[in-house]
Amino acid sequence: MTPLTGYLLVAALLFSIGLAGALVRRNAILVLIGIELMLNAANLNLIAFWRYGPHPELLTGMIFAIFSIAVAAAEAAVGLGLVIQIHRHAKTTDIDQMNRMKG
Amino acid sequence: MSVVFYVLAALTVAGALAAVLLKNTVHCALALTVAFAGLALLFLNLDAQFAGFAQILVYIGAVAILVVFAILLTKGSETPRDGVFSRTWLVGLVIAAGVFAVLSWAVINSVRVLPHETAVPQVTVLQIGNALVGRYVLPLEIVAVLLTAAMIGAVIVAMHEKVGHEKEGQK
Amino acid sequence: MIEKLDQIFVSLLHWLVSSLPATLQPLAGVLLSVVAIVCLFPALFALTTVFERKGLGRIQNRLGPNRIGPFGFFQPIADGIKSLTKEDIVPLSADAVVHFLAPVVLVVAVFMGFAVLPMGRHMVLVEMDAGLLFYFAMGASTELAVFMAGWSSRNKYSLLGAMRAVAQMISYEVILLLSSVTVVMMAGSLSLTKIVEAQSSYTWGFPHWYIFTPWGCAGFVMYAIAATAETNRSPFDLPEGESELVAGYHTEYSGFKFALFFLGEYLAMFSISGLGTTLFLGGWSAPFSFLTWIPSWTWFFSKLMLSIFVFIWLRGTLPRLRQDQLMNFAWKFVLPMCLLNLLVAGAWRFMGEGWPRWFVCSVILVAAYAGLGLSEMRKGKIGPRSYRYAE
C-alpha cells in the first residue's frame, strides 16, 4: 500500500463519517459539523494528490485547498446564522420536527 | 507507511467518530476541534506547511469557535427529549457505509495507475504568494467578494428583526 | 571577543551536543533549547509577578509586598508553595475531562509560540519559512482553551466571562493580524528572522526599526492595543474583572490549575511582547550603531522587559473598558485605521526615498485619526433621560 493510498483511504473514511453524521443526527448544528468534516476530507484528498502527483511545483493542489478552506469558513458562518434564526422562530433545532412548509 | 501517519490518522478518525456520536453537543464540537488538529498535522506530514497552519488558524481559531457560539446561542447543550439520533438513522448509516465501500474499492483497485512518489517539494511562502497574485488572481478576487458577501449575509440573516415583530404584533 | 559573547549560548549548545553521535545531535540540540525556554520564561514570570505587584503598589501610592526576602523579592517562592499545596477543588457538576484539559491546552498553545521568536542572532528554536503564521495559529488555539475553561465549570459567571473573553480575543485578533501584515508587506517575508534582519541596518547611526516610520508607529500603537486586549490585560480585562465576574473563566479553578492559568496569561504577555519587539522594535538589534558590541540577546530581553513594564504601567493607570465600548473601539475605530495603515505602507514603498513620503504618510494617518476620533465622539451625546414603564 503506497502512502497515497493510505491518505486517500483516510479521506474516504472521514468523508463517510461526516456523511453519516449529517444524515443520522437530529440537531441542525451537528449536520453542519458533518458537512465541515466532509469538506476537510476533500481538502486532505487535494493535498495528498498535490504531494504525490506529477507536478507539485505548480502548487495547484495547495492553492485549491486554501481556497476550499476559505469557502468552507464562509459557508459555516452563513449556515450557523441560518440555524440561529431558525431557532429563534421554531424554538428548536431539531430537524425532524421541521417537516412542514408552513411557518 | 510510517508510524507517524498511523498515529495521526487514528487521532483524526477518533476525533471525527466522537464528533458524530457523542450526546453532548459541546463535546461534539470539541471532538471536531481534535479532528481538525489531526488533519492539520496530516497536512504538515505531507509537507504542506502553509495549508497546515492555515487550517489551524481558520478552522480551529474561527470555525470551531463559531460552532461553539452557535451551540450556546441555540441552547444546544440540553439533551433533546426524543434522543439524539434521528428516526431514520439506519438508512443514513447504510448510505454512509455504501459510500465508503465504493470509495475504498475505487482507491484500492487503482493502485497500479496512481502517480508514483516524487521528491519532497520545497515550497516557500514566496512561491505561494506569487501563484496567488499571478496564476490564480481571478479565484483570489472572487473569494474576496464571496467572503464579503458571506459576512454581510450572515449578519443580515442572524440579525434581530425588531421592526418586523412590531408590525406582526399590531396585526 | 564581542562575537563570542554574542553567540555564547549557541556555542554552549554546540559544545554540549558534540559528545553525542551525529544522528542524535539535531534532536538533542532542539531538546536542550526547549528545556532552556521552559526554564527561562517561567523564571521571568516569577520575577514579573513581583515587579507587577510592587510597580502597581507604587503607582497606587503604597508599598507592594515587602515582607518576604529583601524588598519582597522572594514573594514568588511563597506564591509557588501556596499554589502547589492548595486543595484542588473541582465542582461536582463540572465536566471533569474538559475542566482538566483547559489549562493544559492553554499553556501548551502559549509555549508553542515561543518556538519562532528570534531571541538573538542565530538564536531561534525553529527556523520556519512561515514563522509568523505559525505564531498566529498557536494564538488562535488559546481562545478555545479559554472557552473550554469557562464552559466546563457549569457556572454562569464563568461562562459569561469566557464568552466575553472569546468575543474580545476574536475581535482584536483581526487587528493584530492586520498590523502584522503591514510589517510582512514591507519586509517581504513571513519568517521572523528575515524581518529582524531587515531592521538591523543603520543610516547615520539610526536604526531602521519599523517603529521609526509613520506606518510603523501607527502599526505599533495598534499592535500594542491589540496585544493588551488579546492577553486580557487592563484596560481590557473585563473578562476577569474581580468586581464584575468574580474571576471570570477561571473562577472554579484552585491550586495548581489556577497557577497554570496565571502562568499562561503571563507567558502570553511575554510571547506577544516578544513578537512586538521582533516586528516593530528591531528584535535583537541595538538602537545605535555604536552600541552593537552589547550582545544581541540582552537587547531582545531588555526590549521585552520594557514592554512588560509598559503593560504594568497601563494596568495601574487606565480604567477598565466596558464590553460594548471595547467592541465598538475595535471594529469602528482601530480596524479602519489598520486598513488605512496598509494603504499608507504601500504608498510609502512606492513613493521612493526622500522627505515627501514622510510628510504625506504622516498627514494621512494624523488626519484619519482625528477624523475617525471626532466622528466617534460625536455619537456619544448625553441627552435628557427617557423612562420606560412596565405595563
pLDDT digits 0-9 by tens, A82-94: 999 988 888 888 8
Handedness of CA C33, C34, C39, C45 (dihedral sign): positive
On whether ipTM exceeds 0.95, the answer is no
Say what percent of chain B tops pLDDT 70. 84
Split at pLDDT 50, 70, 90, the class of B170 is very low
From chain C, the residues in CB contact with B57 under 8 A are: 133, 136-137, 140
Split at pLDDT 50, 70, 90, the class of A69 is very high
Whole-number pLDDT of residue B111: 67
Residue C233's φ and ψ, nearest 5 degrees, are -95, 160
Map residue C150 onto helix, strand or coil: helix
Do B58 and A65 make contact, defined as CB atoms within 8 angstroms?
Answer: no
Beta strands in chain C (DSSP E): 202-203, 206-207
Q: Give the separation between CA C250 and CA C255, rounded to whole angstroms.
A: 11
Map residue C206 onto helix, strand or coil: strand
Q: Give the separation between CA A91 and CA C100, rounded to whole angstroms.
A: 33
DSSP notation for C56-123: HHHHTTS----SSSGGGTTHHHHHHHHHHHS-----TTS-HHHHHHHHHHHHHHHHHHGGG---STT-
DSSP H or E run through C202:
strand C202-203
From chain C, the residues in CB contact with B49 under 8 A are: 128-130
Q: Give the separation between CA C102 and CA A77, rounded to whole angstroms.
A: 25
B14-28 pLDDT, tens digit each: 999 999 999 888 999
The residue with greater pLDDT, C320 or B112, is: C320
Cβ-proximal residues to B27 (8 Å cutoff; 6+ apart), any chain: B18, C95, C98
- Does residue B167 have a pLDDT over 50? no
Whole-number pLDDT of residue B164: 46
Please compute the mean of the pLDDT values over residues C297-325 and round it to a whole number: 90
- Does residue A15 have a pLDDT over 90? yes
B45-64 pLDDT, tens digit each: 998 999 999 999 999 999 99
The residue with greater pLDDT, C234 or C223, is: C223
Q: Give the separation between CA A71 and CA C191, rounded to whole angstroms.
A: 27
Say what percent of chain C tops pLDDT 70. 96
Q: Give the separation between CA C321 and CA C329, rounded to whole angstroms.
A: 10
Do B9 and A15 make contact, defined as CB atoms within 8 angstroms?
Answer: no
Do B121 and A71 make contact, defined as CB atoms within 8 angstroms?
Answer: no
Whole-number pLDDT of residue B165: 44
Cell 469557535 sits on residue = B65
Map residue B85 onto helix, strand or coil: strand
The most confident of the ranges A21-35, B78-92, C286-300 is A21-35
| Minimum CA–CA partner of B48 in chain C | C130
Q: Give the separation between CA B8 and CA C335, rounded to whole angstroms.
A: 38
- Does residue B10 have a pLDDT over 90? yes
**Minimum mean pLDDT range among A10-24, B108-122, B146-160, C167-181:** B108-122
Split at pLDDT 50, 70, 90, the class of C157 is confident
**Minimum mean pLDDT range among B155-169, C7-21, C153-167:** B155-169
Split at pLDDT 50, 70, 90, the class of B117 is low
Whole-number pLDDT of residue C7: 86
Cell of A66: 486554501
| Strands C206-207 and C202-203, sheet pairing | antiparallel
Whole-number pLDDT of residue C391: 65
Most A CBs within 10 A among B24, B87, B107, hence the mutation to make, goes to B107
- Does residue C242 have a pLDDT over 60? no
Judge contact between C144 and C103, C-beta under 8 A. Answer: no
Most A CBs within 10 A among B39, B82, B95, hence the mutation to make, goes to B39
Nearest to A59 among B12, B76, B127 (CB): B127
Judge contact between B115 and A20, C-beta under 8 A. Answer: no
Do A54 and B115 make contact, defined as CB atoms within 8 angstroms?
Answer: yes
Do A29 and B115 make contact, defined as CB atoms within 8 angstroms?
Answer: no
From chain A, the residues in CB contact with B13 under 8 A are: 10, 13-14, 17
Whole-number pLDDT of residue C3: 79
Whole-number pLDDT of residue B168: 44
**Minimum mean pLDDT range among B151-165, C10-24, C286-300, C345-359:** B151-165
Judge contact between B12 and A18, C-beta under 8 A. Answer: no
Cell 554552549 sits on residue = C12
Average pLDDT, chain C: 87
Q: How far is CA A45 from the centre of its chain?
A: 13
Query: b vs e for C200-213, b when ≥16 Cβ sit within 10 Å of the residue's Cβ?
Result: beeeeeebebbbeb
Do B68 and C134 make contact, defined as CB atoms within 8 angstroms?
Answer: no
Please compute the mean of the pLDDT values over residues C248-261 and round it to a whole number: 84
Q: Give the separation between CA C124 and CA C134, rounded to whole angstroms.
A: 14
Whole-number pLDDT of residue A37: 96
Q: With touching defined as 3+ CB pairs under 8 A, do chains B and A touch?
A: yes
**Minimum mean pLDDT range among C158-162, C264-268, C277-281:** C158-162
Cβ-proximal residues to C183 (8 Å cutoff; 6+ apart), any chain: C195, C210, C216, C219, C279, C280
Whole-number pLDDT of residue A14: 96
Crossing angle (nearest 10°) for helices B25-45 and A3-24: 160
Cell of C172: 482584536
Give the distance from residue B81's alpha carbon to the nearest chain A alpha carbon, in angstroms: 10
Whole-number pLDDT of residue A101: 79
Most B CBs within 10 A among C97, C135, C147, C159, hence the mutation to make, goes to C147
Please compute the mean of the pLDDT values over residues C376-387 and round it to a whole number: 69
Residue B122's φ and ψ, nearest 5 degrees, are -95, 95
Nearest to C88 by CA among C234, C206, C255, C248: C255
Q: Give the separation between CA B106 and CA C315, rounded to whole angstroms.
A: 62
Handedness of CA B148, B152, B157, B158 (dihedral sign): positive
- Does residue C311 have a pLDDT over 90? yes
Domain spans of chain A, in order of start: 3-97
Nearest to B9 by CA among B45, B33, B59: B45
Please compute the mean of the pLDDT values over residues C286-306 and round it to a whole number: 89
Judge contact between C98 and B30, C-beta under 8 A. Answer: yes
A42-67 pLDDT, tens digit each: 999 999 999 888 888 888 999 999 99
Please compute the mean of the pLDDT values over residues C132-147 and round it to a whole number: 92
Instruction: Could you please state the CATH topology (level 3) that the domain comprising A3-97 is classified under.
Output: Helix Hairpins (1.10.287)
Residues counted in chain B: 171
Do A13 and B67 make contact, defined as CB atoms within 8 angstroms?
Answer: no
Judge contact between B104 and A16, C-beta under 8 A. Answer: no
Nearest to B39 among A44, A59, A62 (CB): A44
**Residue B68: what residue type?**
V
Do A26 and B85 make contact, defined as CB atoms within 8 angstroms?
Answer: yes
Cβ-proximal residues to C292 (8 Å cutoff; 6+ apart), any chain: C2, C285, C286
